[in-house]
Structure 1
Amino acid sequence: MQKAFVDLHIHIGRTKTGKAVKITGSKTLTLQNIVDFASSIKGLHMIGVIDCHVPEVISELEETIQNGVATEHQDGGIVFANSLVLLLGSEIEVYDEHSSGPIHVLVYLPTLKKMKQFSEWLAPRMKNRTLSSQRIYESGIVLQEKVKALQGLFIPAHVFTPFKSVYGKGVKQKMSEVFRLDLIDAVELGLSSDTSMAEEINELSYFPFLTNSDAHSLEKIAREYQVMAMNDYSFKDLHNVLQEKEGCHIIANYGLNPKLGKYYKTSCAKCYKQKSADVCQCGHRQFIKGVSERIQELKGEGNRKQRPPYIHQIPLEFIPKLGPKTLQALRDHFKTDMDIIHHVSKQQLQTVVKDDIATLIDQARLGKLLVEEGGAGRYGKVKREEA
Structure 2
Amino acid sequence: MKEIYADLHIHIGRTEKGRAVKITGSRNLTLNNILETATSKKGLDLVGIIDCHSPEVIEELEQLILAGTATELDEGGVRFKKTTLILGSEIEIYDANCHGPIHVLCYMPTIETMKIFSNWMSAHVKNIHLSSQRIYCDGRTLQQKVQELGGLFIPAHVFTPFKSLFGKGVKSSLSEVFDPDLIDAIELGLSSDTHMVKGIAELLPYNFVTNSDAHSLGKLAREYQKMNVADANFVELKMALKQQEGRGILANYGLNPLLGKYHDTVCANCGEKSIEESPIRCPFCGKQHFLKGVAKRIGELSDPAVQEIDRPPYIHQVPLDFIPGIGPKTIEKLLNTFGTEMNILHKTSLEELQQIIPEKLANTIDAARKGTLGITVGGGGVYGMINVE
TM-score range, shorter chain: over 0.9
Aligned to 1:65: 65
Aligned to 2:294: 291
Q: CA shift at 1:281, angstroms?
A: 2.1
Q: Secondary structure at the match of 2:249?
A: strand
The 2-side partners of 1:211 and 1:38 are apart by 16
Q: For 1:122, give the aligned amino acid.
A: M
CA contact 1:125–1:136 (8 Å) conserved in 2 = yes
The 1-side partners of 2:33 and 2:146 are apart by 28
The 1-side partners of 2:283 and 2:25 are apart by 32
Q: Secondary structure at the match of 1:92?
A: strand
Q: CA offsets, 1:214-245, max 9 Å, x none?
A: 00000000000000000011100000101111
Task: Report the CA distance shift for 1:41/1:352 in structure 2 as closer, same or farther (over 3 A).
Answer: same
Give the 5 Å matches for 1:315-326.
315-326=319-330
Residue 362 of structure 1 pairs with residue 366 of structure 2: yes
Give the 5 Å matches for 1:361-380.
361-380=365-384
Q: CA shift at 1:50, angstroms?
A: 0.2
Q: CA shift at 1:93, angstroms?
A: 0.3
Where in structure 1 are there 5+ consecutive unaligned residues? Answer: none
Aligned to 1:216: 215
The 2-side partners of 1:221 and 1:247 are apart by 27
Q: CA shift at 1:366, angstroms?
A: 2.4
Give the 5 Å matches for 1:127-138.
127-138=126-137
Q: Secondary structure at the match of 2:362?
A: helix
Compare 46-55 and 269-278 and name the one that shifted more. Answer: 269-278
CA contact 2:101–2:169 (8 Å) conserved in 1 = no
With the length of structure 1 as denominator, give the TM-score of the two structures: 0.96
The 2-side partners of 1:323 and 1:273 are apart by 30
Aligned to 2:8: 8
Q: Secondary structure at the match of 2:123?
A: helix
The 1-side partners of 2:213 and 2:310 are apart by 26
The 1-side partners of 2:180 and 2:299 are apart by 22
Q: CA offsets, 1:336-382, max 9 Å, x none?
A: 11111111111111122211111111112223211110000111011
Give the 5 Å matches for 1:34-45.
34-45=34-45
Where in structure 2 are there 5+ consecutive unaligned residues? Answer: none
Over the matched positions of the two proteins, sequence identity in percent amounts to 55
Q: CA offsets, 1:7-37, max 9 Å, x none?
A: 0000000011000000000001000000000
The 2-side partners of 1:270 and 1:219 are apart by 31
Give the 5 Å matches for 1:74-85.
74-80=74-80, 82-85=81-84
The 2-side partners of 1:272 and 1:353 are apart by 39
Give the 5 Å matches for 1:190-205.
190-205=189-204
Q: Secondary structure at the match of 2:35?
A: helix
CA contact 1:155–1:184 (8 Å) conserved in 2 = yes
Aligned to 2:31: 31
Q: CA shift at 1:330, angstroms?
A: 1.6
The 2-side partners of 1:170 and 1:41 are apart by 37
Task: Report the CA distance shift for 1:209/1:130 in structure 2 as closer, same or farther (over 3 A).
Answer: same
Q: CA shift at 1:303, angstroms?
A: 4.3
Give the 5 Å matches for 1:83-162.
83-162=82-161
The 2-side partners of 1:249 and 1:71 are apart by 25
Q: CA offsets, 1:91-113, max 9 Å, x none?
A: 00000111110000000010011
Give the 5 Å matches for 1:298-377.
298-300=301-303, 301-377=305-381
Aligned to 1:189: 188
> What number of residue pairs does the alignment pair up?
384
Q: For 1:229, give the aligned amino acid.
A: N
Aligned to 1:22: 22
CA contact 2:170–2:177 (8 Å) conserved in 1 = no
The 2-side partners of 1:189 and 1:213 are apart by 11
Q: CA shift at 1:125, angstroms?
A: 0.5
The 1-side partners of 2:139 and 2:170 are apart by 19
The 2-side partners of 1:305 and 1:56 are apart by 43
CA contact 1:166–1:173 (8 Å) conserved in 2 = no
The 2-side partners of 1:42 and 1:286 are apart by 41
Give the 5 Å matches for 1:249-268.
249-268=248-267
CA contact 1:318–1:381 (8 Å) conserved in 2 = no
Q: For 1:299, give the aligned amino acid.
A: S
Q: Secondary structure at the match of 1:198?
A: coil
